[in-house]
Amino acid sequence: MFLLCFMKSDYLPILLQVLVAIGFACSALLVSLLLGKATRRNATKDTAYECGMIADEGPQPRFSVKFYLVAMLFILFDLEIVFMYPWAVIYKDAILEYGASIFWSMFSFVGILTLGYVYAVKKGALDWKS
């Protein structure tokens, strides 16, 4: 009786589309596995590709801390953007109903976060040249 209630009928098709996409990707791989030329292995083919040089099997290269920094700053600013979407949706109606407070509310929120952004820029966290 309430099967449809689980997902508003708008959302069920998304699930179906994802399943179709997964089905397409998997079956493409499967068909290619069945039809493709049989694999012939040899030692050279099994080495990592390094433009014909003998692969250097040293430890994994070390990376600049900036890659982590960018990923973490991304999460924080992503949060800022997430709050902007409901704001954008209600803005046109709310500005009539509640006046300019809706504008200043977001302005101060972004202002607070911009302090962090300015700090990051000043500390050179976003400068990749060095």
Site for other proteins in 27-66 (CB under 8 A): 28-29, 31-33, 35-41, 45-51, 55-56, 59-61, 63-66
Q: Least distance in Å: CB of 100 to other proteins? A: 7
Q: Which residue has the tokens 């600049």?
A: 64
Q: Least distance in Å: CB of 13 to other proteins? A: 4
If you write DSSP's letter for every residue of the chain in order, what string do you get? --HHHHS-TTTHHHHHHHHHHHHHHHHHHHHHHHHSPPP---TTTTS--STTSPP---SPPP--THHHHHHHHHHHHHHHHHHHHHHHHHHHHHHHHHTTHHHHHHHHHHHHHHHHHHHHHHTTTT----
Q: Least distance in Å: CB of 15 to other proteins? A: 8
Count of residues of this chain found to bind other proteins when the rule CB under 8 A is applied:
108
Binders in 66-125 for other proteins, by CB under 8 A: 66-95, 98, 100, 102-103, 105-110, 112-117, 119-121, 123-125
Q: Least distance in Å: CB of 43 to other proteins? A: 9
